Chain A
């Protein structure tokens, strides 16, 4: 299957700083990318949908000013956690989707995740 990478895999930062996480589709063009958050022993929670060249769509309850998403190219989306606090510590996972020629429906490919720890 297609490969999605995330960078960094782990990050530790001080409270109040901002952290940027990159999500890249390595061998296909992703017109749509999704960002998820996962707390320990819980399921993945969808945060936002990111479409190339347009503003992200956030799920209810997700602060768009705190979690800035940019999808500037067909292979890269970034999530910036602004003014991070300890409660933002979590596992952040992205996924990418290639709609394919004619809008064919394809599966999402997930990145390996980024473990964020805010001290």
Chain B
């Protein structure tokens, strides 16, 4: 079973920031938080990952709470092409497995 919970769907206006929350209250010390997205009928695309510090790359920012029990993915200026299912997952540095939950369907609207 997935170890994360996400809202099933969210809307965002084009050009605005999209903030996608994720709860992972049972996260263990060696688990990273990973975010991927899947556009219809394609393979998932890596977005960002982090352990305990906030992370930023060219696609997004990841904010992890101090207790590591939740995180937020921020797309700073959402475009229509960001419409996708966004998956938050915990990845073990030991096994490397990623277990997908149901994700959040983000709809960016004009």
Contacts and interface: CB of A to CB of B under 8 A. Distances in A.
| Interface residue range, chain A | 20 to 34
Interface of A: 1, 4, 6, 32, 34, 36, 43-46, 49, 91, 93, 95, 97, 99, 105, 107-113, 115
B41 A45 contact: no
B107 to A, nearest CB: 15
A111 B96 CA distance: 17
B10 interface: no
B44 A43 contact: no
Interface string B19-46: 0000000000000101010100111111
B97 A107 contact: no
B102 interface: yes
Contacts of A1: 46
Nearest to A57: B95
A43 B100 contact: yes
17 contacts: A4-B43, A34-B96, A43-B100, A44-B38, A44-B100, A49-B96, A91-B41, A93-B43, A95-B98, A107-B34, A108-B91, A109-B46, A110-B46, A112-B42, A113-B41, A113-B42, A115-B41
Contacts, number: 55
Tell me if A's interface is mostly helix, strand, loop or mixed. strand
A99 B87 CA distance: 22
A107 B49 contact: yes
